[in-house]
Amino acid sequence: MPAYRLTTGKGPPVIFLPGYASDMEGAKALALEAWAKAAGRTFVRFDYAGCGQSEGLFEDQTLTGWRDDALAILDLFGEPAILIGSSMGGWIALMIARDHPEKVAALVGIAAAADFTDWGFSMEEKMKLLQDGRIERPSPYSDQPTVFTSRFWQSGEASRMTAAAIPIFCPVRLIHGLGDRDVPAERTMHLIQMIKSADIQATLIKDGDHRLSRDSDIALLIRTVESL
């Protein structure tokens, strides 16, 4: 079971799914927890295996393994939840909403990075992953490089979902910064076209970056969750 922090309250559970190599101590997760406590709402933040306070080695993990961590959190509840997925967490949230619709009341994607193992790596990087088993990239968010393994990459490639219509029918809200250098805003526009739900809206933030962790960005996120 992944490490998690539960705030108990009313309404459908709200669950925050972090991005790649992130954890439950990020600004968005903590701000959502503070909102939930003030509003009396049920909320969970958690760490994927190998991240933060959860057990395991980071380089042993896969996308589908982290999806299963999120499903374990969902199993804590007997009612559908609102999933908030940041970057890779958005991909995992979309996978769960497609495959387990009975568990998801609504979905919020923040720079949702569905299929990023496909479009997020150069051909040179893909070859190096296959040959060496791992690559490192400088991280703009940490002194340590970001590591990607062939294990994770192959799991992602086997889980691609945006080449055809996506049978998700719950309310979907997508938030994306036009200044995002990690996930192009065009990925959100593509998701709008592919997701079958009629109740889908996108909010584009002209000066927003990938993290969308400024006070104004978080206020928008909370308003979006409250609207659901």
C-alpha 102/C-alpha 222 separation (Å) is 24
The phi and psi torsions of 120 (rounded to 5 degrees) equal: -90, 5
Which residues are marked as active site? Answer: 87, 180, 210
Q: What is the pLDDT of residue 140?
A: 75
In terms of Cβ atoms closer than 10 Å to its own Cβ (0-12, 13-18, 19+), residue 34 is: middle
Residue entry with tokens 């910064």: 177
Q: What is the pLDDT of residue 193?
A: 95
Q: What is the pLDDT of residue 210?
A: 86
Residues 6+ apart with CB under 8 A from 52: 3, 23, 24, 25
Q: What is the pLDDT of residue 35?
A: 96
Mean pLDDT by 10 residues, the chain (228 residues): 95 96 93 96 96 94 97 96 97 98 98 96 94 90 88 96 97 96 94 97 92 90 94
C-alpha 96/C-alpha 24 separation (Å) is 19
Cβ neighbours, 10 Å, residue 55: 10
C-alpha 80/C-alpha 101 separation (Å) is 8
Residues 6+ apart with CB under 8 A from 163: none
C-alpha 177/C-alpha 102 separation (Å) is 30
C-alpha 110/C-alpha 84 separation (Å) is 8
Threshold 0.85, pTM exceeds = yes
Question: How is residue 8 annotated by DSSP?
Answer: -
Q: What is the pLDDT of residue 161?
A: 97
Q: What is the pLDDT of residue 77?
A: 95
C-alpha 225/C-alpha 84 separation (Å) is 8
Give alpha helix (H) positions in the chain.
27-39, 63-74, 88-99, 116-119, 123-132, 150-157, 186-194, 215-227
Q: What is the pLDDT of residue 143?
A: 80
Nearest one of 48, 68, 61, 50 to 2, comparing CA atoms:
48
For residue range 103-141, list pLDDT tens digits in order: 999 999 999 999 999 999 999 999 999 999 999 998 877
